[in-house]
Chains A and B, each alone.
Chain A
Amino acid sequence: MNNQPGDGYISYLDYQGKHRGILSWLLSTDHKRIGLMYLYAVIIFFFVAAFLGLAMRIEKMAPGPDIMDAQTYNGIFTIHGVIMVFIIVIPGISAIFGNFFLPIMIGARDVAFPKLNLFSWYLYITGAVLGVLSQFAGDGPPDTGWTFYVPYSAESATNVIYALTAAFILGFSSILTGLNFIVTIHRMRAPGMTWFRMPLFPWSLYATAWIQVLATPIVGITLLMVIAERTLNIGFFDPALGGDPLLFQHLFWIYSHPAVYIMILPAMGIVTEIFPTFSQKPVFGYGAIVISSIAIAAVGYFVWGHHMFTSGMSYWSRWFFSFLTFIVAIPSAIKVFNWVSTMYGGAIDLKPPLLYAISFIFLFMIGGFTGLALGSLATNVHLHDTDFVVAHFHYIIFGGMGFAFFAGIHYWYPKIYGRMYSNRIANIAWGILFAGFNLLYFPLFIIGIQGMPRRYFDYLPQFTTGQVISSIGAFILISGLILMTANLIYHRKRGAIAPANPWKGVTLEWLIPSPPPHENFVEIPEIKHKPYLFAKTEPKE
């Protein structure tokens, strides 16, 4: 096998295809270039939505109106949620790292349908642009929250239809990416790579892709139904027109709860790659991690009702959804134990990717256990729709998915760009981020337990201390984000040249040059052993 840089080596960044300049990106069907186009779009939108979040925190530094009025605040938390959920965390890891590394890690030259892949990106951009337009066109920014609950979303005088259409189109982008990945994984694995020789990041993408394909159409049709309700006055959901408002909530969460697993499963996949590499040790419990990914994807379909415990569902619906919610916690716990055991006994090198991965476990545990307090019936009654929920899902989505994303970008950066970033600055940025994150979100648990509702423009004076601490955390968090990103952007062209395998990884992406050539492999490798083989000879189990 010869995949080292030879005479004919040209990296995908320098490769000249049919088109030149910007078109060589915009019309490229190379999975790596498409992955990077997603990355840049996500970074831009992420900073927009993060600054909107900061604006909300500034508003809440004191009771009463400070820098904006209630309508503006309601519009900001709506677009913050729409961008963060539909444009960043749902596509995020799959579309960026999945596109870039899935084909490489299974020994393929591209995804199964490269043109469809490019089309997905255009759908994504169309949806994202429409989301932005909803802020400027028509009758003012939508003010329904990202959940679009009916009847309010059917009645609000604002520009709700743009936001609904944006989410609808983004959903199709997600479905097509999922479909592409399923076919790629089924049909394009390298010779000898059986299902159980496949690395775990592709496994997590596989479980995710099935959720994307099966669950997304439900939210698509639901959003269309709201549009029909607003434009044609068809009474699906509005009781004034003979509809059922809870039907909307059911349909919405049938997708939007599994969507949480679309976010977190690939994140779990990333850290599952990082722990073995930085411990120089096979992943602990490969089979358990695969099964738990599939179990999360499967059981995750049947827990949506825990978003509706106080909505007026029947007693036994509440019982059933609470029970299953506790069951779905187990596979996540199993993963945590396996990650920790992967490090145990290894030769641990605490580089920035591992630092982020370890803090992922810590934040994910806090998010997970507080999720159990929300899944439990009695405590949910008290916590439902309070700031406790806001803290919980930010710990899962930002502390979990976000920190895993940061771990991933620091892990694969040398492979993507062929350059190294500054470890020192990456560590400092991590410290600022981690401190800012906890200072921002932890106080929300406390005021949530004290009864502070979410989506409140204003608040009662007893919640002031927690709100102010949280706002201070927001400034620290934003500084950490800027420093981390600046470190990566600055070293993109100026960093030290990265070797093909800076971390001594053993999955296929580390066997090809950094950055990889167009079509990845000169010669498709043949897989003769199980994954994560670090030692030349491995002791028998």
Chain B
Amino acid sequence: MFSGASNMVEGVDRAFAVIFGIAIVFIIGISAFMIYTVIKYRRSKGHEAKQFRGSLKLEILWTIIPLALVMLMFYYGWIGFAPMRKVPPDAMKIVAIGRMWEWEFDYGDGRMSPELVIPVNKPVRIDLKSEDVNHSLFIPAFRVKEDVVPGYNNFLWFTPYYVGEYDILCTEYCGLLHSSMTSKTRVMSQEDFDIWLDQLAEAAAIPVPEGLILLRNTGCLACHSVDGSKLVGPSFKGYWGSERVITENGVETSITADEAYTLKSIYDPNSQVVKGFSPGLMQSYTDVVSEEDALKMIEYLKELAGEI
């Protein structure tokens, strides 16, 4: 707390201080009073319970004082929050795309980055788009969070104060790999940022294979890596043409990863599951991926195996 990494930190942390300050006084005060009462008035001979039933004065007092205190807390919460909805007109605009289970940041003109890279001391507005279910973009150090809801134009904004790296987390449960849907914010000087953005533009100029775009947009890459790392499903690297040990109807057999097998894996994924992976995790992509698109994906898988 109190690191002040963005312009939102002060307002939020002040509200924390007010609420927790009042809370600690009351929790300790009332607990101490209870302990005192239990000891002082413990049942013993010659000591009788007093039989009073209430006091209007006290009831009024302990209605009004808490009322005043909660209004104070509400006020600090409100003024800490109000600036979060007032975006400066000169804020830099970036679109954050949430999909199961990765973040992507769109800088316009096809410039896409898996990390949020921003210049220091410059207000940035992040528009939040979901391609599938609800997500939520959370950067704890900046005290900002807003849900990424399909069909909604949600946003958040902030001004980062220090150069550095900060965690990005997804805080709306979104299925299997929700807890892996993390990324980084890299805050850099304006000069470094300009260089980085130029490099991003150069990378954007190299055409991305159509099959890869399809794999990414369909969400395949969330479970199947292209670099050989083992995720929920087998990696696509070195997949094409390889010998697969699969379980079909409870029987282990060997099969070559060809077009027929690949199509079957897309449309009827649980019938032939590769050894070492669990059935039931992948649903059929019938009606989601057309046969034409599937063939484009296969073209990319061939490319990945170095066949083309």
Collect the chain A residues with CB atoms within 8 Å of residue B67's CB. Answer: 330
B78-105, CB under 8 A of A: which get 1 and which 0? Answer: 1111001100000000000000000000
Q: How many residues of B contact A (CB 8 A)?
A: 86
B145–A350 CB distance below 8 A = no
**What is the CA–CA distance of A346 and B14 in the complex, to the nearest angstrom?**
41
Given A358-B34, A379-B12, does the pair A345, B77 have CB atoms closer than 8 Å?
no
Q: Which of A341-369 contact B (CB under 8 A)?
A: 341, 343-350, 358, 361-362, 365-366, 369
B85 contacts across to A, CB distance below 8 A: 315
B147 within 8 A of A: yes
The size of the chain A interface, using a CB distance under 8 A, is 94
Q: Does B290 contact A (CB under 8 A)?
A: no
B179 touches A71 (CB 8 A): no
Closest to A462 in B: B167
Bitwise, B247-272 to A at CB < 8 A (1) or not (0) is 00000000000000000000000000
Residue of A nearest to B284 (CB): A157
Residue of A70, A315, A338 contacting most chain B CB atoms (<10 Å): A70
Q: In the complex, A451 Cα to B8 Cα: how many Å?
A: 15
Whole-angstrom CA separation of A358 from B34 in the bound complex: 8
Are B42's CB and A350's CB within 8 A? yes
Task: Assess whether B58 is in contact with A333, with CB atoms less than 8 Å apart.
Answer: no
Query: Which B residue's beta carbon lies closest to that of A381?
Result: B145
Interfacial chain B residues near A380, Cβ < 8 Å: 77, 81
The answer on a CB contact under 8 Å between A155 and B54 is no
A346 to B48, CA, bound (A): 7
Pair A343/B37 contact, Cβ less than 8 Å: yes
Instruction: Answer yes or no: A140 CB below 8 A from chain B CBs.
Output: yes
Does residue A15 face the partner (Cβ distance < 8 Å to B)?
no
Contact at B53–A284, with CB atoms within 8 Å? yes
Proximity string of chain A (225-253) to chain B, C-beta cutoff 8 Å, 1 when within and 0 when not: 00000000000000110001110000000
Write the nearest CB–CB distance from A1 to chain B, whole angstroms. 23
A385 surroundings in chain B (CB, below 8 A): 136, 138, 145, 171-173
Interchain CB contact (< 8 A) of A373 among B14, B16, B53, B138: B16
> CA of A458 to CA of B170 in the docked complex: distance in angstroms?
12
Interface residues of B in 49-73 (CB under 8 A from A): 49-55, 58-59, 62-63, 66-67, 70-71, 73
Interface, chain B (partner A; CB < 8 A): 1, 8, 11-12, 14-16, 19-20, 22-23, 26-27, 30-31, 33-34, 37-38, 41-44, 47-55, 58-59, 62-63, 66-67, 70-71, 73-74, 76-81, 84-85, 132-134, 136, 138, 140-141, 143-147, 149-152, 154, 167, 169-180, 182, 232, 278, 280-281, 283
22 A-B pairs (CB sep. < 8 Å): A143-B176, A246-B149, A280-B43, A281-B51, A312-B149, A330-B63, A330-B66, A340-B33, A347-B41, A347-B42, A347-B43, A347-B49, A348-B41, A350-B38, A378-B80, A379-B16, A384-B145, A384-B171, A450-B140, A535-B51, A539-B51, A541-B52
9 A-B pairs besides A334-B59, A386-B171 with CB distance below 8 A are A282-B53, A311-B149, A322-B74, A326-B74, A347-B43, A369-B23, A456-B178, A460-B167, A532-B53
Interfacial residues, chain A to chain B (CB-CB below 8 A): 69-71, 74, 139-140, 143-145, 149, 151-152, 155-157, 239-240, 244-246, 279-288, 310-312, 315, 318-319, 322-323, 326-327, 329-330, 333-334, 336-338, 340-341, 343-350, 358, 361-362, 365-366, 369-370, 372-373, 375-382, 384-386, 449-451, 453-460, 532, 534-535, 538-539, 541
The 5 A-B residue pairs with the shortest CB-CB distance, nearest first, are: A378-B80, A451-B140, A376-B77, A239-B151, A377-B81
